[in-house]
Structure 1
Amino acid sequence: MSAEPAPLPAHHVLILGGTTEARRLAEALAAAPSGRVTTSLAGRVASPVLPPGGTRVGGFGGVEGLAAWIVAHDVTHVVDATHPFAERMSFNAAGAAALTGVPLLALRRPGWTPRPGDDWTFVDSLDEAADRLPGLGSRAFLTTGRMGLHTFAHLTDTWFLVRSVDPPAAPAPPCLEVLLARGPFTLEDERELLARHRIDVVVTKDSGGSATAPKLTAAREAGIPVLVVRRPPVPQGVPEADSVDAVLDWLGTSR
């Protein structure tokens, strides 16, 4: 991590949220003796778990809209704690920070690393995952999120199990079963799920973290291959932190 801004006696931190780390950061900042925190949520989940402090839901209207909001609300720091695959929001944040001169930090939890016994195939996009999937299995546990389900809609010979917080929208694969659930999930949960649905391939994004990692352990134990979509890079020039404590240090906030 680099480019530490000078600590301020009072601050207004805008957290671009939607992750466990964003919520933990909001909790820490809301308990701080001075300053304000506002968490922005994309609004893609019907009933999100709201963090402490101020919240807003919905888009800003691109780079210019975000920059205008930052100025209008006297934001002193922006923390991009969105999902590692929220690429558009991350680039909008970088653009808005450049326009306003407000310091920006990207909070990214470490990605997953294969262990001995893992059978992982890495791809760079959902489109590439859809191309590779038929050669790896016919009963897929698809955990890439409901927003990208249309990418697999043309695969008529693959049966899909999809797990999401809210129901997915069309277009979707014709052979599909949907489980509505919110993590975290235990290893026993994932073992039972893979066995009950006779899953022979798992498709996931490298989101990192522990909430959904047990499926990888369950797949390794069962000898099931995993298609892993690599993360997009953080916008060039944006410093990164891998923990909430590192963000608090960057902000100069006591704990």
Structure 2
Amino acid sequence: MWLKIRLLKRLILFCIGIYLPIKFFILWIKSTNKPLWHHYALDHCILRIIICCIACIYYLHLQQNKGTKNGIVPSMHRYKLMIRTVLLQLTMTFGLLLLSSIQATLWHPNVQPIRYFSSNIDFVYRGLVEITCLAAILEELLFRGILEKLLYKVISTRLWITLTSALAFSLMHGNMRNNLLYFVMGCFFSHLYYQTKDIIYPIIAHGLHNLCATCIMYFKWDERLDLAINSLTIVTRIILAIGALLGVYQYVSYRLIQPKTKNTI
């Protein structure tokens, strides 16, 4: 673990060494009123990497201070777990799409503001790098890896820890009309982390969900999906949504991890 922390610290120093010259260069360009080559700031990406590394170091310190390790799963089972995590997240994303449609039909809110990417570079930078990778890593480290570890010191019931971290996760996004969807996602990521005992699996699930969302926006599939889902009756959508969410929860609870590979935190 100390080797990982040392490597992360060196990565932070390396990123800081790159970040400062780039930041000063951007400030100088802006002061001369010259147009930048592109508005995608590389310094924002580097800063996010630095924050992710700091969060990861703190997470590793919490793991070490508490004397815990990630779940010890044989390598052959890790590949199965990754595949199962991907399939579960796709099912969860389908259930969330149905839930979003139900919410829009019953309460007519502006559930999620649609963001369209202006170019291929915008999609790669904001869609794949920032939203899919960095955002998923940072949010899982903060809410599952760090917050839940701290909550264990004051809350003894696992259910309340899951609900608290999911609520904080939903409130962090700041979209009050969309809090239900983020809360359901947070509960799933928290339960997945508890069952697998490894932060990599909720990161994979979170990143896959963000990737699906960015691809829907980039390829402009949102209108087609809305038409396809809205063609179903509201009762059918409710049944499918409940079935998908309950099926995912039941599988994660009883079938995802074999009893021999489970470890307690």
Relative CO higher for 1 or 2, CA cutoff 8 Å, sep ≥ 6?
A: 2
TM-score range, shorter chain: under 0.3
- Of Structure 1 and Structure 2, which has the larger fraction of its residues in helix? 2
Q: Give TM-score scaled by structure 2 length.
A: 0.23
Q: Give TM-score scaled by structure 1 length.
A: 0.24
- Of Structure 1 and Structure 2, which has the larger fraction of its residues in strand? 1
